[in-house]
Structure 1
Amino acid sequence: MQPNDITFYQRFEADILSGWKTITIRDKSESHFKAGDILRVGRFEDNQYFCTIEVLSVSPITLDELTEQHAKQENMGLAELKEVIRGVYPSEYLFWIIEFTLA
């Protein structure tokens, strides 16, 4: 069995599969992806594969620079997006937006 390249919390699986979630915001440890990369995607909770994505772009951003458009691409409101990011990365300030599409 092939390992997954990136994982998402299970609560985001349906949004990814439906095409509603088209970006993910990650810390420096996952900033190495680049446009054109094809990634196997698994659930964070059990590492179960559920789809393959193609990376469209990777760009740095701070929490303060996030906009309603980013929130829309995450399929949530801006306040909720910032709350989720603070919960996952409580001590980080600089992030990377990974834009993707289903492959």
Structure 2
Amino acid sequence: MKHITFFERFEADILSGKKVITLRDESEKDYEVGDVVAVSTLEHGRRFCHVRIDGVTQVRFDALTALHAEQENMTLAQLKQVIQEIYPGIEQLYMLKFSLMTDVI
């Protein structure tokens, strides 16, 4: 099973279904539609759910929109700031669209 990590601050949004995408760099783009992925916190490695990958698409940083921000449960300004903190100067991102799975242990 594949694995992905998120900062702990995003856990509640993922579990509530408010965060349904994540934007990653090229090193974290190797997911395919239908993959079931174990999700853990980056800080402590605590597994807290599983998600199914529903889409993987390229998106340029300068093409991010309010819709991307809404799917991340933040404003566009917040989204751009977070991305720049994690990936300074990045131009090309990969959007992983996902759904929370409730039937995987």
Letter in 1 for 2:55: S
- Larger CA deviation: 88-97 vs 14-23: 88-97
Counterpart CA distance in 2 for 1:72 and 1:6 is: 21
Q: Is 2:23 the counterpart of 1:18?
A: no
Counterpart CA distance in 1 for 2:99 and 2:58 is: 19
RMSD between aligned residues: 1.1
Counterpart CA distance in 2 for 1:20 and 1:68 is: 14
Residue 38 of structure 2 corresponds to 40
Counterpart CA distance in 2 for 1:59 and 1:26 is: 10
Question: 1:1-103 residue pairs with structure 2 within 5 A?
Answer: 5-103=3-101
Return the TM-score normalized by structure 1: 0.95
Counterpart CA distance in 1 for 2:89 and 2:62 is: 14
Return the TM-score normalized by structure 2: 0.93
Residue 4 of structure 1 deviates from its aligned partner by 6.7
Counterpart CA distance in 2 for 1:92 and 1:81 is: 13
Q: Segments of 4+ in structure 1 off by > 3 A?
A: none
Structure 2 unaligned runs (5+)?
none
Alignment size in residue pairs: 101
Counterpart CA distance in 2 for 1:69 and 1:84 is: 16
For the Cα contact (< 8 Å) 1:4–1:42, is it kept in 2?
Answer: no
